[in-house]
Structure 1
């Protein structure tokens, strides 16, 4: 019998592939710091978006995979670059005018427009931590402001002063000639205005550990590079952080990929060993545009959780991280149902298949049992035809379909029913477009109603071993008998005429859930044109 570790060492699941790369770093000796450090970076220039969560979720999946194949302890550090100067005001926050008065100040020196924390940076950090905590992530949080001001970065900053010319040589190759004239890897914080200054250095003294520059008013100033008086430009900061903390793994979006040689080069110049990298494709909004913290486009963390459980979001994050994905509300139902399909398959799989199953990685090797006896897509359609205002309106149908189910014994189904009603009213109902059938479709739908009406008025299990499959076979037979060469056209007609949508659930399962006689009545209303006239 294959052991878990053996299965993991041969798994083609991307978290195990990445974990094996990290393990290879220490095939000769364990890390001197005593643990393997996984890191995620966060720029708190706006409210945390769903892509930020994705980095932590995916890095955690790799960390858990590593812990299966190695006994070396691990840590996950979520690092916030909150000392970065605020370069633009996010569009989705209040007090825009007030924020504009604090442009270029470190985010932890900008007042919180929400009035809840002592700075905008700390507000956004708190939002990130709140969400990560609800998911139960095991992580340590680090603030750049704390690391710069407390002296934790002093040694690497002094080293950067010593290696200033080498760092500049790396950076200048990547800059346009005009930018080269004023560029410095050090950004002093003006003691007069508090702003982060993008000014050239007149002198860098490695022995004294100071930089000399002209302040905004033209006065020449000399400041120590330590103690939070300066910060590093973001590209040098990446490499310096890796060197200072001895980071072993960090992932980032494809938009950073071209900078990887710069990050690595600066890390090496400062005496560090670059970490293993993983670049993922970007998330896109409904228009195919990159999700932006400042624009607030795309799905937010809270918006996803308004319509689906957290595990479905983790499932979405697991899938094909190197493929760009639209992240809009319409991806939620599919993610929910696919997650539960994988969950149901897991217990009967051999360990070699289990470690390739997304739910192993979502739940760190200990996935729960799925109690979703009704698919989310089916609940959406049930909410539609039943006119449900809340989840209680669905449970009468659910209990007839699955008598053993209850909100107490099937909490995931109960939660999904509530989500389905909310999702239906917010997204499905406004877009429904019923139509009348053509002659061929009308004859077939009338025939379907007649065959359903002829079924014995008794427990469907006495008629069919599996009511869903039996009714699905019946629906198929009607379509074939009425000359639908492509049965997809037949099912599309059912969805558009009866449900007002071009796609829908397995129709046999829908009938079993909604009820045979209820479906016959639904057909009668649709053929009479009542739904079209309502539209």
Structure 2
């Protein structure tokens, strides 16, 4: 496909990354002046451990960045991952060790509080490192910027002086948005106490904007004159955001729905500071399995490591790509479906026309940090089928056992020959051990179900070892259709198979499972179920 054809299709694509990138085309109809790069930004508040909600913003912004590069045939871009690590710690996160250490330092900048994990020079450095480690592992191209480093080095001093010059105009924007009580103490500038090191929420008086001098009352009641330069103060959130946009020349930044008001006010402040609000998208927030907003401090969301233990990087990207403006739950239970849907979309990609490709999440994901190769790839076994296999094998199942069964279903069944399947095997074993095995309970079949199982066993006894999964599936179907067994629908028959043989209310295509697990082994499962029916009948007769 020529670049012209791709660009033409991208310009009319309804896929959200292209729709977002179109905003930048309107912002710079002739391209950014002097060929300067369009600058994208993501923000991270390291007051708690990074979770997937943190990571998704970098991924989604990268997708818009790549879409813009397609639309402009390779115009230069940059992505800044900005950490708000100069913030004062407001509360102790629930999922952090040595909580007393953090409690003793409430209010201090996050980079000036010791690391409770004992690994880095500060709490913020620890959390920043965790974020960067995963972004690097995923292959993101970004520039990490620390607020503390910029403030402390004086890199923001000129921008801070500009805030002091425009102090009254900023107050006019902010005060009407605040409750009366908050108005009495509000200041765009938050000085750091020279005594306690705490970031203070106190009124300030501008003494001299050019030198950054302000006057305020410290915690002990002393009146202090102090420069805000060189890390001796930081800005209030909405002012800080606007200052950063102007100082760094940010052209695009997305954010969560909870920051809708901040976007409005920060945009007004950016204009007062002589800049321009960046383009952006407001996305919906992720919810936990109880429907509550996930929070770094609560630790009620998934960590990046948890998803990678029970799923794959690609499935994480796939789940985060879809429907960014709709609220979605983010918990362990969504992982298996995301894994299989990713590979389904990937397998379909190569045969799709270009307009459908541009709407396929995998098209964007393959280009986020690579060359786009991999379209049309498929796996010989689904994650769901692997989960059913290890569920039958039990909590103590091993990878070697799984691969021995895969030999029934996959040619050249080895981790070396099938590295993608090998990743899924490890994830399936972990998912089964921690979430499936503890909940599996096989029930005894009802009399009509037992009769149908006996019929299936008879069919399997006649089947050869090379019988295909499709032929096995047909045999299962035909038994479920027989009136003598009294199933109202095939769904009832399959549910009976899942609950009596696998211990779950849902399951795979049974033909595929039988081919994978093996006909003799499946017949043993049926024999166990029929024995359970006999025991239940004996107990009832007694």
Q: What TM-score bracket applies, with the shorter chain setting the length?
A: over 0.9
Q: Which moved more, 1:128-137 or 1:5-14?
A: 5-14
- Aligned equivalent of 1:366: 372
Equivalent of 2:61 in 49, 59, 62: 59
Runs of 4+ residues over 4 Å off in structure 1:
530-533
2:307 equivalent to 1:297: no
- Aligned equivalent of 1:24: 26
2:445 equivalent to 1:445: no
- Aligned equivalent of 2:175: 172
Distance 1:304 1:107 in 2: 27
- Aligned equivalent of 1:476: 477
- 3-state DSSP of counterpart to 2:216: strand
- Aligned equivalent of 1:132: 135
2:444 equivalent to 1:436: yes
Distance 2:94 2:284 in 1: 24
- Aligned equivalent of 2:386: 379
- Aligned equivalent of 1:158: 161
Q: Which moved more, 1:327-336 or 1:4-13?
A: 4-13
Q: Which moved more, 1:332-341 or 1:367-376?
A: 367-376
2:519 equivalent to 1:511: no
- 3-state DSSP of counterpart to 1:400: coil
Q: Which moved more, 1:141-150 or 1:434-443?
A: 434-443
Distance 2:33 2:292 in 1: 41
Distance 2:331 2:55 in 1: 15
- 3-state DSSP of counterpart to 2:78: strand
List per-residue Cα deviations over 1:289-334 (Å, max 9, x = no partner). 1111111112111111111221111111111111111111111111
2:51 equivalent to 1:49: yes
- Aligned equivalent of 2:323: 320
Distance 2:147 2:239 in 1: 14
Contact 1:203 1:213 in 2 (8 A): no
2:42 equivalent to 1:40: yes
TM-score by length of structure 1 reads 0.95
TM-fit CA distance, 1:531:
12
List per-residue Cα deviations over 1:318-356 (Å, max 9, x = no partner). 111111111111111111111111111122222222222
Distance 2:200 2:287 in 1: 33
Contact 2:25 2:31 in 1 (8 A): no
Q: Which moved more, 1:496-505 or 1:514-523?
A: 514-523
TM-fit CA distance, 1:370:
3.4
Distance 2:33 2:454 in 1: 72
Contact 1:435 1:532 in 2 (8 A): no
TM-score by length of structure 2 reads 0.94
User: Which residues of structure 1 form unaligned runs of 5+?
Assistant: 461-466
Count of residues in Structure 1 that have an aligned counterpart in Structure 2:
526
User: Which residues of structure 2 form unaligned runs of 5+?
Assistant: 537-542
Equivalent of 1:122 in 120, 125, 129: 125
Counterparts in 2 of 1:223-242, with a 5 A limit?
223-242=226-245
- Aligned equivalent of 1:464: none
Contact 1:371 1:411 in 2 (8 A): no
List per-residue Cα deviations over 1:382-441 (Å, max 9, x = no partner). 112234622111112212212244322210001211211121111100111221122222
Counterparts in 2 of 1:75-474, with a 5 A limit?
75-364=78-367, 366-368=372-374, 370-387=377-394, 389-455=397-463, 457-460=464-467, 467-474=468-475
Contact 2:113 2:123 in 1 (8 A): yes
Distance 2:7 2:86 in 1: 42
- 3-state DSSP of counterpart to 1:75: strand
Q: 1:352 to 1:517 in 2, by over 3 A?
A: same
